[in-house]
Amino acid sequence: MLYQADSSRYQNMEYRRCGRSGLKLPAVSLGLWHNFGDTTLYDNARKLIHCAFDRGITHFDLANNYGPPPGSAEENFGRILSADLKPWRDELIIASKAGYTMWPGPYGDWGSKKYLVASLDQSLQRMGLEYVDIFYHHRPDPDTPLEETMGALDLLVRQGKALYVGLSNYPADRARQAFEILHRLGTPCVIHQPKYSLFERWVEPELLDTLEDHGVGSIAFSPLAGGLLTDRYLHGIPQDSRAASGSQFLQPDQLTDAKLEKVRQLNALAQQRGQKLSQMALAWVLRGDRVTSVLIGASKTSQIEDAVGMLANRTFSSDEIAHIERILM
């Protein structure tokens, strides 16, 4: 059936300025790391993208290696774009990344100019795009000079293959050096993508301070700790969940009694607030307005609806913040 975007899609989403750039991102963004590769149902992937865009999620986050197999999430997204979303290309912010292993040999990994330039060309081809809106270096490379990696990002913008550039997983000191190089080159870094959730707080306070000082926005990945910070695992491990899928990123042995006890207490607090735990977890990441957007994953459209529903209740009293700190201790 021919897709028609929902005409009310911009009514309930909030768009937030990314650092001191001109770019605005939705408070909730959708990542295609899981559930968009060739091992999942294409029709479900398509439904997820439609559902997200219909609810005002304009930002889709990919990387060269998302799948499995690597590259297939970009290919499937390219198919969905060309079949359904082409008329709305100018309403979309599409991101890709390179930095992890993508192809064999010395030029398919890390942060050389050779790798980044070739990888973005491949990503554009897989998605059928002329440019991506954001291109990230996916992780710091301890061996390649930062000047070379940042020079490659600058080049790709000048070639028109990316509009903005970002960094992911860079610790504060390395990020600061990279921002300064990019600033000198005339291609400012607009965004940093770190892992950040109630269970993963390494960005506090140094990285978030650094981003604020440099006017760089941020998008928090895995804000639900891969599903742990939801009601998904309160009564065992459902068969259709990430923890049951064999994913190395959320294994059953990570669901310890101690963790699940914290999840139960957080869930009780979320219920007192009249929302789901997943919604409270996302609202908590967005508190204080230092994070531009939360970057969720989803296997079901109801999960996207939950995330967007969070926006109706995202303020915390100081008692609630203190209560959360006690649970997390």
| Cβ-based nearer residue to ligand NDP, 159 or 202 | 202
Q: How far is the CB of 4 from ligand NDP (least distance, A)?
A: 26
| Total Cβ atoms within 10 A of residue 145 | 12
d(CA 197, CA 294): 9
Site for ligand NDP contains 141 (CB under 6 A): no
For residues 93 and 14, give the distance between their C-alpha atoms in angstroms, rounded to a whole number. Answer: 15
The span of 46-54, 117-125, 216-224, 310-318 binding ligand NDP (CB under 6 A) equals 216-224
Pick the stretch among 20-28, 125-133, 224-232, 260-268 that binds ligand NDP (CB under 6 A): 224-232
Please, which residue, 35 or 187, has the CB nearer to ligand NDP?
35
What is the SS3 assignment for 189? strand
- Residues 296 and 226: their CA atoms lie apart, in Å, by 9
Task: Decide whether 108 or 226 has the Cβ nearer to ligand NDP.
Answer: 226
Least CB distance to ligand NDP at residue 7 (A): 25
By CB under 6 A, tell whether 223 contacts ligand NDP.
Answer: yes
* Positions in 225-264 near ligand NDP (CB under 6 A): 225-227, 230, 232, 241-242
Amino acid of residue 326: R
The C-alpha atoms of residue 89 and residue 87 are separated, in whole angstroms, by 6
Residue 313 tokens, joined: 């209740």
Alpha-carbon torsion (116, 118, 123, 124), positive or negative: positive
Which candidate, 207, 264, 211, 210, places its Cα nearest to that of 235? Answer: 264
133 binds ligand NDP (CB under 6 A): no
141 sits in which H/E element: none
Stretch that binds ligand NDP, among 47-55, 83-91, 298-306, 320-328 (CB under 6 A): 298-306
Q: Which two tokens stand for residue 183?
A: 């600033």
Residue 26 in contact with ligand NDP, rule: CB under 6 A? no
Per CB under 6 A, 119 contacts ligand NDP: no
What is the rounded CA–CA span in Å between residue 308 and residue 302? 10
Asked whether 246 and 239 are in contact (CB, 8 A), the reply is: no
- Please state whether beta strands 15-17 and 24-26 pair in parallel, antiparallel, or not at all (unpaired): antiparallel
Residues 37-96 touching ligand NDP, rule: CB under 6 A, are 61
- In the bound state with ligand NDP, the residue whose beta carbon lies nearer, of 268 and 322, is 268
Least Å distance, CB 186 to ligand NDP, is 25
| Shortest CB 11 distance to ligand NDP, Å | 21
String of contacts with ligand NDP for each residue 154-193, x by CB under 6 A: --------------xx-----------------------x
Contacting range for ligand NDP; rule: CB under 6 A; set: 4-12, 149-157, 295-303, 312-320: 295-303
User: Smallest distance, Å, CB 166 to ligand NDP?
Assistant: 9
Residue with smaller CB distance to ligand NDP, 85 or 310: 310
Question: Is residue 21 within 8 Å of 217, Cβ to Cβ?
Answer: yes
Using alpha carbons, list the distances in angstroms from residue 169 to 38, 191, 199, 207, 220.
26, 11, 16, 10, 10
Q: Which of 166, 169, 283, 270 is nearest to 223 (CA)?
A: 283
In the structure encoding, which two tokens stand for residue 23, read together? 């770019």
Is 299 a binder of ligand NDP (CB under 6 A)? yes
Among 25, 190, 298, 324, binds ligand NDP (CB under 6 A): 298
Plot region of 222 (φ>0 → left; ψ -120 to 50 → alpha; else → beta): left
In whole angstroms, the minimum distance from the beta carbon of 34 to ligand NDP comes to 5
Rounded CA separation 205/19 (Å): 17
Residues of this chain that interact with ligand NDP (CB under 6 A) are 31-34, 61, 138, 168-169, 193, 221-227, 230, 232, 241-242, 278, 295-299, 303, 306
